[in-house]
Amino acid sequence: MKCPKDKSDMIVVEHEKIELDYCLQCSGVWFDSEELELLVSVLKATGAALSGTDLLRPREAEHAEARRKCPVCGHKMQKVWLGEEPGVLADSCPLGDGLWFDSGEMQQVLQKLGPQDTQATKDIISFLGSAFPFTLGTDKRG
Amino acid sequence: MAGIILGVIVAIIVILLIIIIATYNGLVGMRNQTKNAWAQIDVQLKRRYDLIPNLVETVKGYMQHERGTLEAVTNARNLAQSVASAGPGERAAAEGQLSSALARLLVVVENYPNLKANQNFLALQEELTGTENKIGFSRQFYNDSVLRFNNKIEMFPSNIIAGMTGFKQSEFFEVKAPEEREAPKVSFSAPPKS
Amino acid sequence: MWEQIKSNQIRSVMLIVTMGTLLFLVGYFIGLYFLDSPTAGVILALIVWGMMNLVALFQGDSIILAMSGARKISPQDHPRLYNVVEEMKIASGLEKMPDVYIIDDPALNAFATGRSPDRAAVAVTTGLLDKLNRDELQGVIAHEIGHIKNQDIRLMLLASILLGAIVILAYYATRIMFYSGMSGGSNRRKGSSGGGGGAAVIIVIVVGIILMILAPIMAQLIYFAISRKREYLADASAALYTRYPAGLASALEKLANSNTQVKNANKATAPMYISNPFYKGGMAVNDLFATHPPLADRIGILRAMGGASYADYEKSYEKVKASRIIPASALAEAAPIEARPASPESQAGEIRERVERTRETSDLMWRLSNYRSINCGNCGTRLRLPPSFNEPSLRCPHCGYVNQLETA
């Protein structure tokens, strides 16, 4: 799969049996909806309260950043907030193929977890954090 | 007048001959189908003989405390292989023993999470499941073919032709071992400690 | 009871004959209108039909498989799928193992194709492999093998060739009529037929035009009618082969709940899938134009079966649909056949298995796409590298360890 930002071939990282596409150039992450759905069902099975809908349909965000194209279908993606505002900015495919996180957004991910965020959002974001502790610079927390 | 009667007689004889030939060919076709079906079972049973030593070898290291279960599988396999050239009835009994020994082993395996994480074992388990199913389905097909064939031999009018040309009823491949008919009981107790 | 539900059923044969007659009529009117000789038109129709037959004969199945983006796999690529296909091949008494294909698509679907039971192929989507357990997969594969064994793939190929020939002829005929009508081409036609019977000529022309417009639609309706009927019959075969109607029923329930469409399906290949690839939840599908019977009906019939024989399916079908489905010849020899009991399964186990199945399938798809797979030397995280990747080392994004790579 090609990175929506710099068009280089992404590598695939398997973390806890979930596959994520990772760009070696820009450290961006593509979370495919199939894999996201799989993660949601795993989290549900382990007892975490989670509703897939408030994840897969985040609210529309107004943002000046350039619009990227979905690496799966090529449609222009929408900027969305994941979690309570100000939340984490992500690009969402209009056809539901998946979510794209810029590397800058990845850096914000862990710090942005507020008390009013839903458990679902926290679970997804902490999953991303645990998948890339080195890239996020969080592996030194001990 | 005599010509017409002669013609009718000839026609009847011709029709009868056609019926006899068709019935005979039908019987031959069905007998060949049961033979083919039997060959299918044989292929799968041989496949199972080949898989078992591999399985026992892989499993052995993980389950030292299950020597009895493993030996039962190996013995049942050797017994089944020793009667591999016998008829369906005799073989079915031996194969039934082997199936139930294997089923017990697979139940015990549930107590060994390390084993269930072994890629080699998982591949073998899929092979074994596939082979067990193929044995089951080839038996199903064989028994259905035998049922049809035997019915044809017994029923009028094909029984006359079958009797004249020496067709014999085929034997069913039925598992007689009582354990095989019961579903394996899953035990939820903790793994046995030494 | 093992007599396959052959295409010798009167209704299917009648429908094929009707389609053949439509093709004949289309040819006849083309001849009458453009060539001044009905015979020449019929010959033209036969040539078009024959050429399409030739194409289908030599590569019909490969065209269909290529159109759906299917890839052929070997037993080592996906042992579970291959085993299940072989199990059902044995259960059905099919003589030759069909080729097995995988389609990289998250939607849940499968189809069978090929020109005869000896040259058949079964294709399933990766979504199906991920989401169905072994019993459900077995049900779906049994349904597809049922299509092969019941000669449906041949019947549908025959029907689709006829449909294609009618559509092509009618399409070009109406085009030419339209343009030649504007440039006065019909005057030439009138002159050559002489003075008498002007009204009759006009009637013939009007009938011809109506036929050209209606023939493709009628042919399509017939095609869909054949397709719907064969789906029920394949379900009955699946129950018989697996002795477990609940497996297919449960698979169809998962299909009904999934809302993804098959990406590479089109109108022509639609009747070959196990469920309609275009069906969207909540959308009312016009009954006549549906290639597949409603999933709810199919599930209801399977769920209400008392045993696993054709007679049990027939009984259940009559209860749900208040009509008959299985030909008497297939019911004649029926001996009672029991369905096997359900295998126990927990919900947590089901999800764990689903994850395992997904990884098993994606492993295969990455391998088929020539991705290289390594485990990080420090943390063991599995990393997959695209074929274009040729750096000597790779920093693990999980732990930061630099992995040295063998140069390819």
Domain ranges in chain C are 1-369, 370-408
C351/A contact by beta carbon, under 8 A: yes
Query: Mean pLDDT, to the nearest integer, of C320-346?
Result: 70
Whether residue B123 is predicted with pLDDT greater than 70 in this model: the reply is yes
Residues C133, C350: contact at Cβ < 8 Å?
A: yes
Give the C-alpha separation, A81 to A32, whole Å: 17
Query: What Rg value do the Cα atoms of chain C yield, rounded?
Result: 26
Band (pLDDT 50/70/90 cuts) for residue B134 is very high
* Model pLDDT, residue C335: 64
Task: For residue A56, give both structure tokens.
Answer: 């897969």
Residues C260, C275: contact at Cβ < 8 Å?
A: no
Residues C149, C117: contact at Cβ < 8 Å?
A: yes
Q: What are the helix (H) ranges across C322-375?
A: 328-332, 347-368
Residues B175, B95: contact at Cβ < 8 Å?
A: yes
What letter represents residue C155's amino acid? Answer: L
Instruction: Name which residue leads in pLDDT, A14 or C16.
Output: A14
How many C-beta atoms surround the C-beta of residue C354 within 10 A? 18
* Phi/psi of residue C125, nearest 5 degrees: -85, 155
Give the C-alpha separation, C286 to C292, whole Å: 11
Task: For residue B179, give both structure tokens.
Answer: 């354990």
Band (pLDDT 50/70/90 cuts) for residue B14 is very high
Cα angle: C374, vertex C377, C380; to 5 degrees: 70
What does pLDDT average to over chain C? 79
Band (pLDDT 50/70/90 cuts) for residue C55 is confident
Terminal-to-terminal C-alpha distance of chain C? 57
Whether residue C381 is predicted with pLDDT greater than 80 in this model: the reply is yes
Band (pLDDT 50/70/90 cuts) for residue B11 is very high
Q: Is C144 a catalytic residue?
A: yes
Task: For residue A71, give both structure tokens.
Answer: 């690496």
Instruction: Kindly tell me the sign of the dihedral angle through the C-alpha atoms of B178, B184, B187, B188.
Output: negative
> Cβ contacts (< 8 Å) between C348 and chain A: which residues?
45
Band (pLDDT 50/70/90 cuts) for residue B89 is confident
Lowest-confidence region among C12-26, C201-215, C263-277: C263-277
Which of C80, C90, C341 lies nearest to residue B137, judging by beta carbons? C90
What letter represents residue C68's amino acid? Answer: S
Q: Above pLDDT 90, what percent of chain C?
A: 17
What letter represents residue C206's amino acid? Answer: V
Band (pLDDT 50/70/90 cuts) for residue B193 is very low
C2 with B137: Cβ contact below 8 A: no
Task: For residue A22, give both structure tokens.
Answer: 């990772």
What does pLDDT average to over chain A? 73
C346/B contact by beta carbon, under 8 A: no
> Cβ contacts (< 8 Å) between C362 and chain A: which residues?
19
**Pick the catalytic residue: C3, C86, C136, C144?**
C144
Band (pLDDT 50/70/90 cuts) for residue C191 is very low
Domain boundary assignment for chain B:
14-181
pLDDT digits (tens, 9 = 90+) for A98-117: 888 887 666 666 666 665 56
Lowest-confidence region among A131-140, C118-127, C196-205: A131-140
Query: Mean pLDDT, to the nearest integer, of A116-126?
Result: 69
Which residue in C88, C86, C78 sits closest to C130, CA to CA? C78
How many C-beta atoms surround the C-beta of residue C166 within 10 A? 30
Task: For residue C207, give both structure tokens.
Answer: 């009938």
Give the C-alpha separation, C303 to C66, whole Å: 35
Give the C-alpha separation, C142 to C245, whole Å: 10
| Chains within contact range of chain B (3+ C-beta pairs < 8 Å) | C
Band (pLDDT 50/70/90 cuts) for residue B15 is very high
**β-bridge pairing C382-385 and C119-125:** unpaired
What does pLDDT average to over chain B? 83
DSSP C31: I
> Cβ contacts (< 8 Å) between C2 and chain B: which residues?
141, 144-145, 148
Residues A44, A74: contact at Cβ < 8 Å?
A: no
* Model pLDDT, residue B94: 87
Which of C86, C93, C335 lies nearest to residue B141, judging by beta carbons? C93
* Model pLDDT, residue B190: 41
Segment 54-113 of chain C within 8 Å of chain A by CB: 106
* Chain A interface, best mutation among C351, C363, C371, C402, by max A CB count within 10 A: C351
DSSP C292: S
* Model pLDDT, residue C280: 41
* Model pLDDT, residue C348: 63
Instruction: Name which residue leads in pLDDT, B110 or C129.
Output: C129
Residues C166, C22: contact at Cβ < 8 Å?
A: yes
What letter represents residue C243's amino acid? Answer: R
CA distances from residue C397 to A22, A129, B189, C380, C394 in whole angstroms, order as listed: 8, 11, 42, 12, 9
Band (pLDDT 50/70/90 cuts) for residue C166 is confident
B148 with C2: Cβ contact below 8 A: yes
Residues C397, C377: contact at Cβ < 8 Å?
A: no
Terminal-to-terminal C-alpha distance of chain A? 34
Q: Looking at CA atoms only, how far is residue C79 from chain B in angstroms?
A: 7
* Chain B interface, best mutation among C80, C90, C94, by max B CB count within 10 A: C90
Identify the H or E element spanning C110: strand C110-116
Lowest-confidence region among A90-104, B40-54, B60-74, C303-317: A90-104
Q: Looking at CA atoms only, how far is residue C180 from chain A in angstroms?
A: 43
What letter represents residue A122's amino acid? Answer: K
Q: Looking at CA atoms only, how far is residue C59 from chain A in angstroms?
A: 30
Query: Mean pLDDT, to the nearest integer, of B73-101?
Result: 87
Query: Mean pLDDT, to the nearest integer, of C276-294?
Result: 53
Rank A1-5, C58-62, C244-248 by mean pLDDT and report only the highest.
C244-248
Give the C-alpha separation, B50 to B79, whole Å: 14
Chain position carrying tokens 């001044």: C36
C125: which strand partners?
A: C103
Q: Searching chain C, which residue's CA lies closest to the CA of residue B134?
A: C87
> Cβ contacts (< 8 Å) between C86 and chain B: which residues?
130, 134
Instruction: Name which residue leads in pLDDT, C58 or B15.
Output: B15
Q: Looking at CA atoms only, how far is residue B76 from chain C in angstroms?
A: 24
CA distances from residue C242 to B167, C98, C238 in whole angstroms, order as listed: 31, 18, 6
- In order, the DSSP letters of B26-77 are HHHHHHHHHHHHHHHHHHHHHHHHHHHHHHHHHHHTT-GGGHHHHHHHHHHH
Which of C84, C90, C344 lies nearest to residue B141, judging by beta carbons? C90
Instruction: Name which residue leads in pLDDT, A92 or C270.
Output: A92
Q: Above pLDDT 70, what percent of chain B?
A: 90
ipTM of the complex as predicted: 0.81
Lowest-confidence region among A98-102, C97-101, C212-216: C212-216
Chain position carrying tokens 């007048």: B1
> Cβ contacts (< 8 Å) between B130 and chain C: which residues?
79-80, 83-84, 86-87
Whether residue C341 is predicted with pLDDT greater than 80 in this model: the reply is no
Give the C-alpha separation, C300 to C281, whole Å: 18
Instruction: Name which residue leads in pLDDT, C338 or A71.
Output: A71
> Cβ contacts (< 8 Å) between C352 and chain A: which residues?
45
Identify the H or E element spanning B181: helix B178-181
pLDDT digits (tens, 9 = 90+) for A20-73: 999 988 888 898 888 888 887 787 766 554 444 445 445 565 656 677 888 888
CA distances from residue C49 to C19, C24, C36, C258 in whole angstroms, order as listed: 12, 10, 21, 38
Chain position carrying tokens 């060539």: C35
What is the dotted CATH code of the domain comprising B14-181?
1.20.1440.20
What letter represents residue A2's amino acid? Answer: K
Residues C73, C363: contact at Cβ < 8 Å?
A: no
* Model pLDDT, residue B186: 40
Band (pLDDT 50/70/90 cuts) for residue A1 is confident
Identify the H or E element spanning B13: helix B2-60
Q: Above pLDDT 90, what percent of chain B?
A: 20
